Amino acid sequence: MVTDTENTDVQLSEVFLQAPGVAIDEGERLALARQVLIGLAAICVGVFAAHGYAPDNAGISHVFEVVKIGALPLVTLVISFYFPNGLTR
């Protein structure tokens, strides 16, 4: 096998074509936000119902605490991201 020892520069812009950009219209953003919020709401309601049904179960109590501390603030972050304050635009 013969190897070429000359310096061969590779232009990355020629190898990897650049995409013109990703654009998501507002209707798709709202659909995604709705799906995320409905999924989180279903999980939260399920965990809250399970905790109400069996509050003495240690596993359900731990999951309830994780949801209470982690998922509910996540919902507020999703809402504030997809529905920003009108003054920031």
Domain ranges of the chain: 27-82
Tokens of 37: 């919020």
Residue 22 pLDDT level (bands cut at 50, 70, 90):
low
CB 33 within 8 A of CB 75: no
Angstrom CA distances, 34 to 70, 71, 74, stand at 19, 15, 14
Question: Which tens digits make up the pLDDT trace of 39-76?
Answer: 888 988 999 999 999 989 999 899 999 988 888 788 78
Query: How big is the chain by its Cα radius of gyration, in Å?
Result: 24
pLDDT at residue 46, rounded to an integer = 92
Whole-prediction pTM: 0.58
Task: Compute the distance between CA of residue 38 and CA of residue 59 in angstroms, rounded to an integer.
Answer: 24
Residue 87 pLDDT level (bands cut at 50, 70, 90):
low
pLDDT at residue 36, rounded to an integer = 82
